Copies of this chain bind each other. A is one copy, B any other.
Amino acid sequence: MYTGSIDTLIKAIKKKNNPTVAGLDPKLDFIPEYYVNEAFERHGRTLKGAAEAIWQFNKRLIDELYDVVPAVKPQSAYYEMYGFEGVRVLEQTISYAKERGLYVIADVKRNDIGTTADAYARAYIGETDLGNGINVKAFDADSATVNAYLGSDGIKPFLSKDKSIFVLVKTSNPSSGELQDKILEDGTVYEHIAGLVKEWGIDYIGKNKYSNVGAVVGATYPKQLETLREMMPNTYFLVPGYGAQGGTAKDVAKAFNKDGLGAIINASRSIMCAYQKDKCAPEDFAKAARAEAIRMRDEIVSYIK
């Protein structure tokens, strides 16, 4: 029951004592040359070859990370970039991560009008109706990121007792303020969206007092993170921007509530590319990723009261 709910994620976070999520953003540049060349030798220097290299990379990362992190977050862009072959590997990656007991957040930032938002919700966290009573899960993630520029119509199809979503509120990138920091009558744009997120989430609060409707709040804006944490006590935060983008453990500590819950911190490049920084042998890339995931866990946990 409720296998993709925020309670499921919280259970995994508690079990592993680790409020972090490993981003799976497999640019070809991030993958050790050996694996890339091997895949290209078998499939030619093609999108299919690239997709195969990504799959081998992801599989090894998941094998080394599954007992350390509670969740993974594949970033869809880095699969779509390799065409449908890449998207096939996204499906495969989600399925394999779930087999390994990981909670999977599909970072797709989808957004559209009602009927089309419904199709996106079905694709990532629901079921596709094939007629004759047959329903199939296309990507079968536990959670998806969404963009709320279109308002409620675009969000409601994603609301579920059984799955979580993370709505973009204050994003981690340098230009996020161009719209998000603008002042409305009742506060900033991101505060206004925060208010909507609370409304959308109110009927989906689980036994840990957190809603299945979460928020994306960047670690790179610690002051705003603090304000939003106060505004949204029952909202889980997905926090990008730690590590490569400049957010520190001290910054992300502000994302947590006094119960030690309320946030999951993402790192992508710093984990995937740990082997490049550590100058270890490329074939040990997954072990380097594991070491960095453990280091990150210990650092962040040490900052949470």
Residues of A with Cβ closer than 8 Å to B?
25, 27-28, 36, 40, 45-47, 49-50, 75, 77-78, 80-84, 86-88, 90-91, 109-114, 116-117, 119-120, 122-124, 128-132, 134, 136, 138-139, 147-154, 168, 171-180, 182-185, 189, 192-193, 196, 240
Contacts and interface: CB of A to CB of B under 8 A. Distances in A.
B179 A151 contact: yes
Given A77-B112, A110-B77, A113-B173, A189 B183 contact: no
Contacts of A128: 47, 50, 81-83
A178 to B, nearest CB: 3
A86 B82 CA distance: 15
The 10 closest A-B pairs by CB, nearest first: A151-B175, A151-B178, A77-B119, A113-B173, A83-B138, A84-B88, A153-B175, A152-B175, A80-B123, A84-B87
Q: How many copies does the complex hold?
A: 2
B84 A172 contact: no
Contacts of A152: 175, 178
6 contacts: A77-B116, A81-B138, A111-B111, A148-B149, A153-B174, A184-B189
Contact of A116 (B25, B45, B123, B148): B25
A189 B179 contact: yes
A302 to B, nearest CB: 28
Contact of A131 (B45, B149, B184): B45
